[in-house]
Amino acid sequence: MNYTEKLDQLLSSYQMHYQNLRSLHWNIKGNAFFELHLKYEELYTRTQVIIDDLAERILSIGETPSSQFSVYMKNSLISENPIITDGKNGVSYVLEAQRTLLGLEREILNLSGEADDEGTNALMSDLIREKEKTNWMFRAYLG
């Protein structure tokens, strides 16, 4: 799979992650409701921006981004979640999903570097840096 196909796989994975985050936001219960309800909203709002950035990057390099949910489900490295209501389980999902996304972003960073695609390289570097920081915070939350 070349890096443009990997970019589309990343787009699919973020689309699935976005829907999982919406579900977490809607269904959270318990003592951490207020805190996590807001955090999940922050995450899915940021994910919307990332999805748009990825699709536009794919278009910028002359390819067509996938736009059907059936394709997202097939190509995503992230699966659809069952309904999660527990805060620790929800944060554990976020951390695991972000680890998956981070792995794919690092792979694309290497491939786009070999292809001398500085725009994709810069986008991946920004996403990696952001995710490394939030993963540290989620690990701290889980103790």
* Domains of the chain, start order: 3-142 (1.20.1260.10)
> For 36-58, how does the pLDDT look when each residue is reduced to its tens digit (9 = 90+)?
999 999 999 999 999 999 999 99
User: Mean of the pLDDT values across residues 8-35?
Assistant: 98
User: Mean of the pLDDT values across residues 89-107?
Assistant: 98
For residues 49, 27, 30, 142, the Cα torsion angle rounded to the nearest 10 degrees is -50
Secondary structure, 3-state, 101-130:
HHHHHHHHHHHHHHCCCHHHHHHHHHHHHH
pLDDT (0 to 100) of residue 78:
98
pLDDT exceeds 90 at position 1: no
User: Mean of the pLDDT values across residues 93-111?
Assistant: 98
Q: What is the mean pLDDT of the chain?
A: 97
pLDDT (0 to 100) of residue 99:
97
Give pTM, 2 decimals.
Answer: 0.96
Confidence of residue 125 (pLDDT cuts 50, 70, 90): very high
